[in-house]
Amino acid sequence: EGYAGGDAAITDLLDSVAFRVAPMMNPDGYLYTWSDERFWRKNRRNNGDGTFGVDWNRNFSAGWGGPGADNFTDGETYRGPSPFSEPESRALRDFTLGVPNAVFHIDFHAFSQLVLYPRGYNDTPIPQPDLGIHAALAEAYAGTIASVSGFDYLPIPGNQLYIASGIVTDWHYEEAGLYSFTLELRPADGGLGGFAPPPSEILPCAEENFAAVLDLGASVARGVVATFE
């Protein structure tokens, strides 16, 4: 809309950077949250033993099978029988690897107001200069949000939230070679209700993250490393 509407900054950005948006990566699981179990997390794979679902955000090959992912089928974070056993994780893998000149991946989650970056599957820092670049970009992202809405998002490595193996963020960094982030959206602390905030929170949350994504895109247009020189 900004491009068609004559917003010069957005026009310049979209003339330099392509954005690809997948609005829903767990359609079967999401549908199930409206019909049966509101806070269902996994997909709806039939595990063949009376249980259903794989947490496909534990199904990627980076760190797969490590701590922070269940190895039993009825666990909420069941990792699946093997890396990329799920159509959702395979689809995102194949899509990402087919994008030319890709630079960033951002995964939007609920909730906790965090900007997470690799690594998630253990507490060993990723090597420099990647660690410094990720940290600086995460801080800049949080700074943009604070300037737009006054809400504080904390930029930290994913393992500081908790250890999680086989996650999408680590795979996009380690295997696809991208700068990779997980955004945990509003609220900062809300119990299970944080997964379903009131409708009044939706637009402000979108607006603050939209502004931050535009700034990330601008760093791609300038050259990510050049952004910090």
Identify the pLDDT of residue 228: 62
Q: Per residue in 136-146, pLDDT tens? A: 999 999 999 99
Query: Which residues does 175 contact at the CB level (< 8 Å), separation at least 6?
Result: 60, 61, 62
Catalytic residue among 86, 88, 174, 184: 184
Identify the pLDDT of residue 2: 87
Q: Per residue in 155-184, pLDDT tens? A: 999 999 999 999 999 999 999 999 999 999
Reduced to 3 states, what is the DSSP secondary structure of residue 105? strand
Identify the pLDDT of residue 25: 94
Structure tokens that stand for 34 in this block: 């409206």
Nearest to 110 by CA among 188, 11, 217, 31: 188
What are the C-alpha distances in Å from 145 to residues 12, 157, 190, 205? 22, 18, 19, 9
pTM summary value: 0.94
With the CA atoms of 7, 11, 14 and 20 taken in that order, what torsion angle do they form, in degrees rounded to the nearest 10? 30
Identify the pLDDT of residue 200: 94
Say if residues 186 and 195 touch (Cβ distance below 8 Å): no
Identity of the amino acid at 76: E
Percent helix / strand / coil, the chain, rounded to 5: 40, 10, 50
- How far apart CA 159 and CA 219 sit, in angstroms, is 25
- Residue the block writes with tokens 């068609």: 4
Q: Per residue in 196-206, pLDDT tens? A: 899 999 999 99
Helix extents (H) in the chain = 8-14, 27-35, 87-97, 130-149, 168-174, 202-222, 224-227
Nearest to 204 by CA among 122, 145, 164, 157: 145
Confidence of residue 223 (pLDDT cuts 50, 70, 90): confident
Identify the pLDDT of residue 96: 97
Active site residue 174: no
Average pLDDT over residues 80-84: 98
Reduced to 3 states, what is the DSSP secondary structure of residue 127? coil
Mean pLDDT for the chain?
Answer: 94
- How far apart CA 197 and CA 110 sit, in angstroms, is 9
Q: Per residue in 89-104, pLDDT tens? A: 999 999 999 999 999 9
CB atoms near residue 40 (< 10 Å)? 20
Identify the pLDDT of residue 45: 97
Identify the pLDDT of residue 17: 93
Q: Is the pLDDT confidence value at 229 over 90?
A: no
Between 189 and 120, where is the model more confident? 120
Say if residues 116 and 157 touch (Cβ distance below 8 Å): yes
